[in-house]
Amino acid sequence: MGMDFSKGAGEALRTAGALSTVGLAFVLALVIGFWVGTVLDGWLGTKPVFTILFFFFGLAAGILNVYRIVSQAYPKQAAGPGAPPAPPPQPVIMPKAGDGPDDRELGDDGER
């Protein structure tokens, strides 16, 4: 009585499940860092030093968790032997001085 999903639908559900943990992983890392800093400050009597320090450690850990989860959910597609090559990047052409209209051309409709 189970539901049968196509390969694409199953993959989409797995990706959605992995991405649904992003918020929890980020907030949990912040809370744990803050808590560890608060406990260390209580033991050592150094009130906000370790709380602030470990808050930022938790922030860095949370960002790293988000990066890891998103990287696993959207892996880079390696170009295989049958894959078409990526198009080359388009060059950016900057206008040279004097290429644009000067003041006479902007306001001149031919009527005076």
Q: Does any domain span residue 14? A: no
Taking 90 as the threshold, does the pLDDT of residue 82 lie above it? no
Q: Does any domain span residue 19? A: no
Expressed as residue numbers, the domain containing 37 is 25-73
| pLDDT for the residue numbered 7 | 73
Determine whether 66 is exposed, middle or buried from the number of CB atoms within 10 Å of its CB (0-12, 13-18, 19+): middle
Q: How far apart are the first and last CA of the chain?
A: 84
Q: Does any domain span residue 63? A: yes
Number of domains into which the chain is organized? 1
Q: Does any domain span residue 16? A: no
Taking 70 as the threshold, does the pLDDT of residue 1 lie above it? no
Q: Does any domain span residue 8? A: no
Return the residue matching tokens 């790293």. 64
> Is the whole-model pTM more than 0.75?
no
| pLDDT for the residue numbered 80 | 58
Residues 6+ apart with CB under 8 A from 100: none
pLDDT in tens, 20-51: 999 999 999 999 999 999 999 999 999 999 99
Q: Does any domain span residue 85? A: no
| pLDDT for the residue numbered 97 | 66
Q: Hey, what's the torsion of the CAs at 48, 54, 60, 66, to 10 degrees?
A: -110
| pLDDT for the residue numbered 111 | 60
- Read off the tokens for 60: 């860095």
